[in-house]
Structure 1
Amino acid sequence: MSNKIKIGISVGDINGIGLEVILKALSEESIYEHFTPIVYGHTKIASYHRKALGMGDFTFNVINSASLANPKKANMINCWEEDVKIDLGAINETGGKYALLSLEKATADLVSGEIDALVTAPINKHNIQSDTFKFPGHTEYLQEKSGSNDVLMFLISENLRIGVVTAHIPVKDIAASITKEKIVNKLMLINQSLKKDFWIEKPKIAVLGLNPHAGDNGLLGKEEEEIIMPAIQQAFDKGVICFGPYSADGFFGKGSYKQFDAVLAMYHDQGLIPFKTMAFNTGVNYTAGLKFVRTSPDHGTGYDIAGKNLASPTSFIEALFAALHIIKSRREQEELLRNQLRGGGKLVETAFDLKDDAN
């Protein structure tokens, strides 16, 4: 039996570009040197997309259980039996139904330990809604399955990492949703993730303001003085090296983000607009705070280009390798902790000196 890391892949909306980027990514033979991919979908659906892309020589190894995966091939677990009509580019009930079946099976295997990590292809947050999925997106669904008290939507790339305090909520609800406790919790999650998942010994985190010019000393809003600054101080007192609040426009415009290991934005677009401007097609969405590892590409379903062989697999490949590196990082730290306990208390911090290429 192979000890190679197993990465599960949910197919997302079958009418979008999910399967296109999956097939393109898995056609890179070099990835099989690093991990074993297991796709949760159906071979007939994959064949339809494969033919549309002209990838006639690509095949899946069909298995009934993740434990039977071939470490040298792309593996497929069929998650349904019936024939399914694909309508590329269409937003319909079919796309959501089978995206959910794929996600449910992959998540069940992730929770049970059959796979080591999960990479999710894009879903449509509307057509996936059902009696068993009443969530704003993947993040909230996986938080419930993990049993985690809090999670962080963490966008990561080679040069930039951005977390958000509030994620998939209407803009009109943002200010009322931001509390000191929530900011402190997100800062703690970022700090923990940077240490545990990215091997940064003493991470430095920037915190953005909510209002224009970070409130301009209360002239443009009181949230900075009454909520954000006290939260930064409380997190700092807990050992998190964090600073701010910074005015978002100037912070990114002057390149100040380069001085920090991560940035905490107050809401979705405040963080994702600069991130996607600088790292589109190379960035990864990582859900920090889960009891397992989940990543995804930083793009959506791409209905407008579905079936046209235009989708880039770069972000999906980055998501696969981000999951791989995070799993390896966690395992190495667990091993170092075991060695510490066996060796009578050698400082865990020495682990960071041994890891200079974790990212």
Structure 2
Amino acid sequence: MGKKPIIGITMGDAAGVGPEIIVKSLQSKRIYEESTPIVVGDAKMLKRASDVLNLDVTIKLIDKNSMFETQYGEIACVDLDLLPEDLPYGQVSKEAGHAAFEYLRTAIELANSGRIDAICTAPLNKEALHKGGHVYPGHTEILAELTNTKDFSMMLASPKLKVIHVTTHVGLLDAIKMINPDRVYNVIRLAHETLSKSGVTNPKIGVCGINPHAGENGLFGYGEEEEKIIPAVQKAMNEGIHVEGPLPADTLFFRAQRGDFDMVVAMYHDQGHGPIKVLGLEAGVNITVGLPIIRTSVDHGTAFDIAGKGIVDERSMLEALNQAIALAPKN
């Protein structure tokens, strides 16, 4: 049996629910049995979260250059000590935005150097991130830049459905302009490689159209399916990938969750996110595909409206940790 993977958990925006879902998730003994969880964040925010949750938690401060060890009943933290103890809950702040970036940057540094085996991220707030001086659409783009990755995609996973995206954090008009045969083909290939590595034999991939009814042979749209998607699907098929499309999105997602497809290729953000979130926020996990390191995340936001109230649902974070453990190298 291989060694337990070391999972670096970034705190995200500490004005949101990140610290609470981390503390609550690390009450699971099984997480410690199967991995070594290490939080990258602010120890004082973890202590504040444990007080809010009325949990008796030991916060163990560790140096990022030390041997990473922890045991059930304590939460090990690489403490960057960037935030004031009285950081307001539920408010956008440049301090929290900058800190969220630094937590992630540090975790990427640790992963690149082989100190941790996977990264699991709590949510950040994009407005706060920008106010803190880091103008990125989100986690995915930061990870790609800091790992020098050009070919990547966002994948959402739930027990019944897996979705990978051609475009994500751009407006709809910009997304349609950005979709092209090369990008669609690359995402189909990433989907195939990801499923194959996870043990799926001859994975079945369904590709969404852009327009209603996937254009219905030119009835809707201006030939986007024929120009942007069909050449990519044909190229993938010629390479032996089991792929179908473009297919009408409204029926494709139903067929996929029924089991007809192992993954759906969505063309834009809401096309892919909507069906996953209808199936339940608590079950969704965000996985960045194509990076040299494993990264999983909760599939929900900072939830400023309930931050600091001790009522968070930690199930998405637990599932994200489970996925990180499953995907991380064990040897």
Q: Same fold (TM over 0.5)?
A: yes
TM-score by length of 2: 0.94
1:213-232 pair list within 5 angstroms: 213-221=213-221, 222-232=223-233
Tell me how far 1:252 sits from its aligned partner.
2.9
Distance across 1 between alignment mates of 2:199 and 2:146: 26
Q: Deviations over 1:156-201 (max 9, x none)?
A: 12221000100100112121111000000000111111111x2112
State the alpha-carbon separation in 2 of the partners of residues 29 and 255 from structure 1: 33
* Aligned residue number for residue 15 of structure 2: 15
- How is 1:104-183 mapped onto 2 (pairs within 5 angstroms)? 104-129=105-130, 133-183=134-184
- Separation in 1, partners of 2:238, 2:60: 53
Partner Cα distance (1:13, 1:7) in 2: 19
Which TM-score applies when normalising by structure 1?
Answer: 0.87
Identity of aligned residues (%): 39
Residue matched to 2:60: 61
Residue 349 of structure 1 is matched in structure 2 by none
2:270 is paired with a residue whose SS is helix
Comparing 62-71 and 273-282, the one that deviates more: 62-71
Instruction: Supply the distance in 2 between the matched residues of 1:199 and 1:35 (Cα, whole angstroms).
Output: 21
Aligned partner of residue 286 in structure 2, secondary structure: strand
Taking structure 1 as reference, are residues 76 and 45 closer, same or farther at Cα in structure 2, changes over 3 Å only? same
In the TM superposition, residue 45 of structure 1 has moved relative to its aligned partner by 1.6
Which segment drifts farther, 44-53 or 125-134?
125-134
Moved more, 160-169 or 44-53: 44-53
Query: CA-to-partner distance for each residue in 1:123-145, whole Å, 9 max, x for gaps?
Result: 01121126863321110111112
Aligned mates of 1:321, 1:301 — CA distance in 2: 20
Task: State the shift of 1:36 in Å.
Answer: 0.6
Q: Distance in 2 between matches of 1:288 and 1:255?
A: 20
1:16 and 1:303 in contact (8 A); partners too: yes
Q: Aligned residue for 2:318?
A: 317
- CA shift, 1:81, in A, is 5.9
Could you tell me whether the CA contact under 8 Å between 2:7 and 2:118 is conserved in 1?
Answer: yes
Which 10-residue stretch deviates more, 31-40 or 221-230? 221-230
The 1:72/1:176 distance shift into structure 2, 3 A limit, reads same
Deviates more, 1:24-33 or 1:287-296: 24-33
- TM-superposed CA distance for 1:85, in Å, is 2.9
Counterpart in 2 of 1:96? 97
Poorly superposed stretches of 4+, deviation over 4 Å = 253-257
Residue 227 of structure 1 deviates from its aligned partner by 1.9
Aligned-pair CA distance for 1:255: 5.8
**CA contact 1:133–1:141 (8 Å) conserved in 2:** no
Equivalent residues, number: 327
Q: Partners in 1 of 2:112 and 2:275 — Cα distance?
A: 33
In structure 1, distance between residues paired with 2:254 and 2:101:
40
Aligned counterpart, 1:27: 27
Where does residue 52 of structure 1 map in the other structure? 52
Structure 1: how far apart are the matches of 2:175 and 2:4? 43
Where in structure 1 are there 5+ consecutive unaligned residues? 333-359
User: Considering only aligned residues, what root-mean-square deviation do their CA atoms show, in Å?
Assistant: 1.8
Shift of 1:39: 0.4
Q: Which piece of structure 1 moves more, 112-121 or 142-151?
A: 142-151
- Could you tell me how far 1:83 is from its partner in structure 2? 3.6
Structure-2 residue corresponding to 1:277: 278
Q: Is the 8 A contact 1:153 1:164 kept in 2?
A: yes
**In the alignment, does 2:189 pair up with 1:193?**
no
Q: Secondary structure at the match of 2:312?
A: coil
The more displaced of 234-243 and 265-274 is 234-243
How far 1:84 sits from its partner (Å)? 4.2
- 252-261 or 267-276, larger mean C-alpha shift: 252-261
Relative to structure 1, is the Cα distance of residues 5 and 173 closer, same or farther in structure 2, using a 3 angstrom cutoff? Answer: same
Q: Is the 8 A contact 1:111 1:145 kept in 2?
A: no
Structure 2 alignment gaps of length 5 or more: none
Q: Kindly state the Cα deviation for residue 38 of structure 1 after the two structures are TM-superposed.
A: 0.5
- Residue matched to 1:79: 80
Counterpart code for 1:290: L
